């Protein structure tokens, strides 16, 4: 069974940083692109970033370019999202998802950016 | 970016009746590999999105056959037949032909 478990969320002040992790199990992480999606309170999902199997290609939504970095460690079956220069509008539940088509999702981790 | 537009935004349905949700993309979703990466997701209250349908009409494992997808090019439809109480939630279309984008969501509720 595919399982994705996010962690690392919390309350942070504007301008601060957080690093999210996603532990993958039930499939071979190195065989898949991986994706981060976020959902602000009361809003629909928004794609944030994705990363190729070998980490050699990374794509970001314009709103996070230059501030967020997606990475992966296939040996540890883990996906990461380093979030810097956080803004109030980054407040959301962050989900990791498998593949470019997001065919499996984790339960999410809540990031709150507030002073 | 590809814009996804769903209609209606709200769909009150009688138990046992059908619901239909439309999704239109701002450009064709046919990928250069010939596939169309249009998915449908269900989000029950307090839960993460759950993928139901991929590549227009293929159901994920465990999804009841009451859910069916159709369409081509820019126009797509999700049909829910014989609506049950557990179907209440928000439904999103999502394209992954380019960097993923989502529709605004359609809230399905029981009359």
- As a three-state string, the secondary structure of chain A is CCEEEEECCEEECCCCCEEEEEEEECCCHHHCCEEEEEECCCCCEEEEEEECCCCCCEEECHHHCCCEEEEEEHHHCEEEEEECCCCHHHCEEEEEEECCCCCCECCCEEEEECC
What are the tens digits of pLDDT across the range A50-88? 999 999 999 999 999 999 999 999 999 999 999 999 999
pLDDT at A58: 98
Q: Give the closest-approach CA distance of A45 to chain B in angstroms.
A: 7
Tokens of B18: 């059908």
- The CA distance from A101 to the nearest CA of chain B, in Å, is 6
Chain A hits for B103, CB-CB cut-off 8 Å, are 44
How far apart CA B35 and CA B58 sit, in angstroms, is: 12
Q: What is the pLDDT of residues B53-85, one digit of tens each?
A: 999 999 999 999 999 999 999 999 999 999 999
Inform me whether the C-beta atom of residue A104 falls under 8 Å from chain B C-beta atoms: yes
Q: What is the pLDDT of residue A47?
A: 98
The pLDDT score that the predictor gives to residue B98 is: 97
Determine the Cα–Cα distance for residues A51 and A49; give it in Å rounded to an integer.
Answer: 7
B54 close to A (CB below 8 A): yes
| 3-state SS, residue B86 | helix
* Amino acid A49: pLDDT: 98
Going by C-beta distance under 8 Å and a sequence separation of 6 or more, which residues neighbour residue B62? none
A95: tokens are: 């989900």
What region does A29 belong to: left with phi over 0, alpha with psi -120 to 50, or beta? alpha
The mean of the pLDDT values for chain A is 98
Q: What percent of chain B has pLDDT over 70?
A: 100
Phi-psi region of A85 (alpha: psi -120 to 50; beta: other; left: phi over 0): left
B96 and A106: CB-CB below 8 Å?
Answer: no
- 3-class DSSP assignment, residue B85: helix
Q: What is the pLDDT of residues A17-52, one digit of tens each?
A: 999 999 999 999 999 999 999 999 999 999 999 999
In this prediction, residue B13 carries a pLDDT of 96
Strands B58-59 and B67-72: unpaired
Helix, strand, or coil (residue B12): strand
Q: Sort out which chain A residues have CB atoms less than 8 A from B3's CB and list them.
A: none
Asked if the C-beta of A58 comes within 8 angstroms of chain B's C-beta atoms, the answer is no
- By the CB < 8 Å criterion, does B60 face chain A? yes
B32 — pLDDT class (breaks 50, 70, 90)? very high
> From B47, which residue of chain A is nearest by alpha-carbon distance?
A107
């Amino acid at each position: 069974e595919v399982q994705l478990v996010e962690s690392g969320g919390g309350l942070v002040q504007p301008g601060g940083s957080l690093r999210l992790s996603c532990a993958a199990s039930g499939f071979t992480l190195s065989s898949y692109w991986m994706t981060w999606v976020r959902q602000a309170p009361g809003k629909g999902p928004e794609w944030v970033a994705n990363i190729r199997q070998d980490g050699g290609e990374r794509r970001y939504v314009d709103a996070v370019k230059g501030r967020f970095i997606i990475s992966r460690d296939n040996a540890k079956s883990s996906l990461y999202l380093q979030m810097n220069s956080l803004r109030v509008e980054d407040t959301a539940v962050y989900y990791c998802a498998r593949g470019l088509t997001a065919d499996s999702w984790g339960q999410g981790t809540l990031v709150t950016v507030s002073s | 970016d590809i814009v996804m537009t769903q209609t209606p935004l709200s769909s009150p349905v009688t138990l046992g009746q059908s619901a239909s949700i439309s999704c239109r993309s701002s450009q064709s979703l046919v990928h250069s590999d010939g596939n169309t990466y249009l998915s449908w997701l269900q989000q029950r209250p307090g839960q993460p999105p759950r993928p139901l349908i991929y590549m227009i009409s293929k159901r994920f494992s465990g999804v009841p056959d009451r859910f069916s997808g159709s369409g081509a090019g820019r126009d797509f439809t999700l049909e829910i037949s014989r609506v049950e109480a557990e179907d209440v939630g928000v439904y999103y279309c999502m394209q992954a032909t380019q960097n993923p984008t989502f529709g605004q969501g359609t809230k399905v509720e029981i009359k």
